[in-house]
Amino acid sequence: MKIVRCGELDTVVAPASYFTGTVFQQPIVTAPEPARVNAAAVTFTPGARTNWHTHPLGQTLHVVSGSGWFQTEGEARIDIHAGDSIWIPPGEKHWHGATDTKMMTHIAIHERDGDAGHITWLEPVEDADYLAGR
């Protein structure tokens, strides 16, 4: 067993190469082999979002505060709010983040798949696409 106490892991600013706007990541767990789970609390400031991306073994998002947007490629953008949970199947191209006026924090949970890792980052979500459907 390993306990990580509150404040033992530093909050980091998410890399601009994978996110638009200011995003903070607070690690929750990166389990050692043979376990594969990763989890982090991710806070998006207004207008901030991920790039398009996929996960080889899928992803679960659980919104803990604020309001955000989520979109799967080829589908309409949807509103997400505190208490909502989303399961994203393996390989589904998607993005998520805050609305243009509200912050949003979610817990992101996904598994590593050997050399494939846990995420494949793709292109940024353009402002026009992010704001479409407002």
Q: What is the DSSP string of the chain?
A: -----TTSS--EEPPTTTEES-EEEEEEEEPPTT--EEEEEEEE-TT-EEPSEE-TT-EEEEEEEEEEEEEETTS--EEEETT-EEEE-TT--EEEEE-SSS-EEEEEEEE--GGG-S-EE-PPPPHHHHHTT-
Beta bridge partners of 20: 49
Least confident residue range of 84-88, 95-99, 109-113, 115-119 = 115-119
Average pLDDT over residues 31-53: 95
Is 89 among the domain residues? yes
> Does residue 134 register a pLDDT over 60?
no
Number of domains in the chain: 1
In a domain, 34, yes or no: yes
pLDDT at 133 over 80: no
Tell whether the model's pLDDT for residue 2 goes beyond 90. Answer: no
Segments forming the whole domain that contains residue 17? 12-131
Compute the average pLDDT of residues 19-47.
95
Question: Mean pLDDT, to the nearest integer, of 2-29?
Answer: 94
103 pLDDT above the threshold of 80: yes
Whether the pLDDT of residue 50 is over 60: the answer is yes
Asked if the structure places residue 2 within a domain, the reply is no
